[in-house]
């Protein structure tokens, strides 16, 4: 057997018979001795034969007998295969891998700390089948014109086979019948030997064994061996896969067969066939039951529409109806819980079936759906208006295939201030929808979107036009102006409500009159004074004949400086 490779933890390499023989040989006789060893078969460690396991890391030893410390910049080392490809090269203190063969890229190394002591061992990682062959280690000094062969070895690779698995054919078992046992093992190298044992005795009849081999893309073998046995009684069978290079035998678990044992293969087939038949019958029965229920429901609706509620039903006069008690005694359908984490469409199909079963209207179906919500779906229900909680289409829009961001963008576009809702609450909703609808936008961009949505949805119209006329810079400023204007309107109205005429009469053309999407810039003050628009009523007290700045009534707001085009007494 070949010598197994040394681990990389031993940087000095395998100091076997080869190294000691090289030490004893004179420098002129070293090459001759190595050539003689090449002619021998790789059967002993003394022959320079190493064995490596596929996929692992190994070390090929090479050393120079020297007592003085070597200067790495004065030496050259070259590892190559006997057929020519360069494995690894080291020239004057540096690795030179420009001519390295592609199959060894990134897999070789020299131990730099050991080079000065004459240890030129090669580390080879992730050993593969193609690495098998002869390796040469050549060495030279800077003053020498040619290199000399310092070490030679034959590397053979091997791979461990998986544990064999034995299974038998599904043919019926009876006395004197033939049964086929199949043994499989994979992932090994080189070609294995397969041994069968029947009733713990080696099977010698090779005619009853058929073994085939196959190789994968890495060059590893898979073996399949079929043993045919004549059953004359109880039988136990095992399979052993032998790897000669490793000296390793791997045996399968024992497979037992009783002469009276029923055929497991046929029983398994009957079990599968019976299961499929039961499933088909259940599905067919469910479909028929569903169609029957739908037909009976349609008949009841048709009779009710034709004969009215006061006319006795057919069930009261026809004795055959007693054969359908399921319509009178069935239990109401119960919807499963819905969290909103799964698509709504399959769940709505269940709602439709339950509505058909119990005769729900669309409003009743929406109510049952609302009661079945939990988790994230229940959280989304919080901001759904009460009038939409009984609308099935509203649930479909909310929990359909659209994402939460898409829903928030739609709400931001369509949101309008409701009657009785404060301006602050309306602005808070706008901010939430902008943040959820455009999570990746910058703060400034979301603030601009919030401002446009606030001005678009602010009611009443006279308040919206007034705030837009002031051209607020952001949502916070627009909110303050809207609240100030509402306070002024409420303070000047005898009923506590905003006086409509003063504000509407003062706004003849504002930004809100422009088409949607058209941006209107504020007019810049010029040297020519503009003619002020005449106000028929005071914005503060609602009385005609004077402006708000000349109103004798006390102002509810701090005194601010008016600007051209703003005679309402409100801060621009």
Mean pLDDT of 472-501: 76
What Cα–Cα distance (Å) separates residue 303 from each residue in 68, 240, 294, 481? Answer: 115, 79, 14, 64
Q: Give the residue from 511, 513, 509, 505 showing the smallest Cα distance to 534.
A: 505
151 and 173 both lie in a single domain:
no
* Poorest-pLDDT segment among 251-255, 334-338, 410-414: 334-338
Nearest to 16 by CA among 48, 53, 38: 48
pLDDT (tens digit, 9 = 90+) per residue, 133-144? 999 999 998 888
pLDDT at 402 over 60: no
Does residue 386 sit in the same domain as residue 429? Answer: no
Residues 9 and 150 in one domain: yes
Final residue belonging to a domain, choices 142, 158, 174? 158
Best CA proximity match to 140, nearest among 13, 22, 27: 27
Does 279 reside within a domain? Answer: no
- In this structure, are residues 499 and 489 in contact, taking their beta carbons and an 8 Å threshold? yes
**Strand ranges inside 205-264, DSSP E:** 209-215, 221-230, 235-243, 248-251, 255-257
Query: Percentage of the chain with pLDDT > 90?
Result: 37
Q: Which of 9-18, 59-68, 217-226, 231-240 has the lowest mean pLDDT?
A: 9-18
Domain membership flag for residue 323: no
Tell me if 289 is assigned to some domain: no
Q: Is the pLDDT of residue 229 over 60?
A: yes
Q: What's the DSSP call for residue 284?
A: H
Query: What torsion do the CA atoms of 293, 294, 297, 299 make, to the nearest 10 degrees?
Result: -110
Q: Give the model's pLDDT for residue 78.
A: 93
Last residue of a domain, one of 209, 240, 263: 263
| 436 inside domain | yes
Domains in the chain, number? 4
Q: pLDDT (tens digit, 9 = 90+) per residue, 315-356?
A: 444 444 444 444 445 678 778 888 766 767 677 888 888 888
Kindly state whether residues 352 and 419 are assigned to the same domain.
no
442 and 369, same structural domain?
Answer: no
Report yes or no: 30 and 65 within 8 Å, Cβ to Cβ: no
Q: Are residues 112 and 188 located together in one domain of the fold?
A: no
- Kindly report the number of other CB atoms within 10 A of residue 273's CB atom: 10
- Give the tens place of pLDDT for each residue, 193-223: 999 999 999 988 888 899 999 999 999 999 9
Average pLDDT, integer, range 254-265: 67
Q: How far apart are CA 155 and CA 166, in angstroms?
A: 34
Confidence bin at 394 (pLDDT 50/70/90): low
Phi-psi region of 133 (alpha: psi -120 to 50; beta: other; left: phi over 0): left
At 456 the pLDDT is: 94
d(CA 525, CA 545): 27
Structure tokens at 418: 């409701």
Instruction: Decide: 226 and 181 in contact? Cβ < 8 Å.
Output: yes
Looking at the fold, whether 193 and 61 belong to one and the same domain comes out as no
pLDDT at 369: 81
Q: Which domain range does residue 225 map to?
A: 165-263
For range 123-152, the mean pLDDT: 90
* 497 is a domain residue: yes
Pair (343, 224) in one structural domain? no
**Contact in structure between 14 and 63 (CB atoms under 8 Å):** no
CATH number at residue 25: 2.60.40.10
- In the structure encoding, which two tokens stand for residue 318, read together? 């026809």
**436 vs 84, more confident:** 436
CB 59 within 8 A of CB 8: yes
pLDDT attached to residue 312: 46
Give yes or no: residues 207 and 336 share one domain: no
pLDDT at 454 over 50: yes
- Lowest-pLDDT range of 218-222, 246-250, 490-494: 490-494
- CA geometry: angle at 494 spanning 489 and 495, to 5°? 85
Predicted confidence (pLDDT) per residue in 38-58, tens digit: 433 343 344 578 999 999 999
Look over the chain and give the mean of its residue pLDDT values, rounded to a whole number: 75
Identify whether residues 422 and 451 lie together within a single domain. yes
pLDDT at 89 over 80: yes
Same domain, 247 and 133: no
477: pLDDT strictly greater than 90: yes
Q: How far does CA 549 lie from the centroid of its chain?
A: 67
- Phi and psi torsions of 134, nearest 5°: -90, 135
Between residues 562 and 244, the one the model is more confident about: 244
Residue 269 resides in a domain: no
- In this prediction, residues 274-284 reach a mean pLDDT of 84
Closest-CA residue to 168 (of 232, 233, 231, 255): 255
User: Is it the case that residue 35 has pLDDT exceeding 50?
Assistant: no
Helices (H), 308-360: 314-317, 326-329, 344-358
Inside any domain, residue 314? no
How much of the chain, in percent, has pLDDT values that exceed 70?
A: 65
- pLDDT score of 303 more than 70: no
| End position of a domain, from candidates 104, 132, 158 | 158
Question: Do the Cβ atoms of 4 and 49 come closer than 8 Å?
Answer: no
């Amino acid at each position: 057997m070949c010598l197994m490779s040394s681990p990389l933890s031993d940087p000095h390499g395998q100091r076997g018979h080869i190294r000691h023989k090289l030490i004893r040989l004179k420098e002129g006789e070293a090459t001759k001795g190595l050539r003689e060893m090449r002619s021998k078969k790789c059967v002993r460690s003394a022959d320079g034969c190493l064995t490596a396991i596929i996929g692992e890391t190994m070390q090929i030893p090479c050393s120079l007998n020297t007592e003085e410390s070597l200067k790495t910049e004065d030496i050259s080392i070259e590892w190559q295969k006997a057929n020519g490809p360069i494995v690894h090269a080291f020239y004057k203190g540096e690795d030179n891998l420009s001519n390295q063969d592609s199959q060894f890229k990134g897999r070789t190394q020299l131990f730099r700390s050991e080079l000065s002591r004459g240890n030129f061992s090669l580390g080879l990682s992730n050993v593969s089948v193609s690495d098998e062959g002869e390796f040469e280690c050549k060495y030279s000094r800077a003053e020498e014109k040619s290199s000399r062969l310092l070490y030679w070895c034959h590397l053979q690779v091997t791979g461990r086979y998986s544990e064999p698995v034995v299974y038998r054919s599904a043919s019926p078992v009876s006395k004197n019948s033939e049964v086929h046992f199949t043994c499989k093992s994979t992932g090994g190298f080189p070609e294995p030997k397969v041994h069968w044992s029947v009733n713990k005795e080696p099977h010698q009849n090779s005619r009853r064994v058929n073994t085939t081999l196959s190789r994968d893309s890495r060059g590893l073998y898979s073996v399949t061996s079929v043993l045919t046995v004549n059953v004359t009684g109880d039988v136990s069978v095992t399979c052993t896969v032998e790897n000669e290079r490793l000296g390793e035998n791997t045996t399968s678990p024992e497979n037992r067969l009783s002469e009276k044992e029923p055929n497991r293969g046929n029983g398994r087939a009957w079990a599968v066939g019976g299961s499929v038949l039961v499933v088909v019958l259940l599905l067919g029965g469910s479909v028929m039951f569903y169609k029957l229920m739908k037909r009976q429901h349609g008949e009841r609706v048709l009779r009710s529409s034709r004969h009215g509620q006061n006319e006795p039903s057919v069930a009261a006069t026809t004795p055959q109806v007693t054969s359908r008690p399921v319509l009178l005694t069935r239990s109401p359908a119960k919807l499963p819980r819905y969290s909103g984490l799964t698509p709504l469409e399959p769940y709505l199909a269940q709602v439709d079936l339950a509505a058909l079963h119990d005769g729900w209207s669309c409003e009743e179906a929406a109510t049952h759906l609302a009661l079945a919500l939990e988790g994230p779906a229940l959280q989304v229900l919080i901001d759904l208006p009460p009038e939409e909680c009984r609308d099935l289409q509203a649930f479909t829009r909310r929990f359909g295939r659209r994402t939460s961001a898409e829903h928030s963008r739609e709400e931001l576009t369509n949101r309008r201030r409701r009657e009785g809702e404060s301006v602050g609450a309306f602005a808070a909703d706008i901010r939430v929808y902008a943040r959820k609808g455009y999570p990746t936008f910058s703060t400034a961009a979301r603030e601009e979107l919030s401002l446009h949505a606030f001005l678009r949805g602010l009611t009443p119209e006279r308040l919206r036009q007034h705030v837009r006329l002031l051209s607020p810079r952001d949502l916070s400023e627009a909110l303050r102006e809207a609240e100030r204007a509402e306070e002024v309107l409420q303070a000047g109205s005898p009923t506590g409500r905003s006086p409509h005429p003063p504000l509407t009469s003062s706004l003849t053309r504002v930004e809100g009159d422009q088409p949607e999407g058209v941006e209107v810039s504020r007019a810049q003050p010029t040297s020519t004074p503009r003619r002020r628009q005449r106000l028929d009523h005071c914005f503060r007290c609602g009385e005609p004949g004077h402006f708000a700045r000349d109103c004798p009534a006390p102002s509810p707001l701090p005194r601010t400086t008016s600007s051209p085009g703003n005679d309402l007494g409100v801060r621009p």
